[in-house]
């Protein structure tokens, strides 16, 4: 058996994992071979409905990696290292995700030691890119956000990914 992961090219977060045997495991795949036009993600609402988010296949890469059972349960807690090899577990962060009328502010637990790419996706919209600079803890990604609660995916390089329902302030 082998493990194949689809990961965000910008931040290297694993977004989906597949343990397969047979033909799928025998050759290199393109992201579209696994996810079609994009990888769907969902955020549940208390009323039983869901917010749909899609990370386009163009923003994804695919890698065959060593078995890591935890990635099948919590894929966004892992990254694919640039140098290859085993998946790397990521630390959770306790900072905030704040939605305002004109953007999303992402604040991580402590200052970053190297520039950290940030990918933000709000249900119904395309993924947007930002960056947290060296010595900083936050960034704001400009986007118009309607009032109410929204499903949000936030990936910050070096930190576990978050997929949650966030209310605009």
What's residue 152's pLDDT? 96
| Predicted confidence (pLDDT) at residue 32 exceeds the cutoff of 90 | no
State pTM to two decimals: 0.91
Domains defined along the chain, listed by start? 2-37+59-89 (no CATH), 97-167 (2.60.40)
pLDDT digits (tens, 9 = 90+) for 59-89: 999 998 888 889 999 999 999 998 877 999 9
Paired residues of 78 in beta bridges: 89
3-state secondary structure 79-124: ECCCCCCCCEECECCCCCEEEECCEEEEECCCCCCCCEEEEEEECC
Provide the β-strand partners of residue 54: 40
Predicted confidence band of residue 27 (pLDDT cuts 50, 70, 90): low
Report pLDDT for 28: 66
Per-residue pLDDT tens over the stretch 110-147: 999 999 999 999 998 999 999 999 999 999 999 999 99
Residue 22 vs residues 16, 25, 47, 69: alpha-carbon distances, Å? 19, 6, 41, 19
pLDDT at 93 over 80: yes
Averaged pLDDT of the chain: 91
Among 118, 105, 116, CA closest to 145: 105
């Amino acid at each position: 058996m082998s493990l194949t992961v689809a990961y965000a090219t910008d931040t290297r977060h694993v977004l989906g994992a597949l343990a397969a045997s047979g033909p799928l495991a025998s050759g290199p795949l393109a992201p579209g071979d696994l996810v079609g036009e994009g990888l769907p993600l969902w955020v549940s609402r208390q009323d039983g409905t869901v917010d749909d988010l899609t990370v386009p296949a163009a923003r994804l890469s695919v890698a065959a990696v060593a078995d890591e059972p935890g990635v099948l349960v919590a894929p966004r807690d892992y990254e694919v290292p640039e140098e290859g090899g085993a998946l790397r577990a990521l630390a959770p962060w306790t900072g905030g995700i704040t939605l305002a009328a004109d953007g999303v502010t992402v604040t991580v637990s402590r200052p970053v030691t190297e520039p950290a790419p940030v990918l933000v996706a709000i249900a119904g919209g395309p993924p947007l890119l930002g960056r947290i600079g060296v010595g900083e803890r936050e960034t704001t990604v400009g986007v118009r956000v309607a009032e109410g609660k929204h499903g949000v995916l936030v990936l910050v390089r070096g930190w576990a990914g978050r997929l949650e329902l966030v209310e605009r302030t």
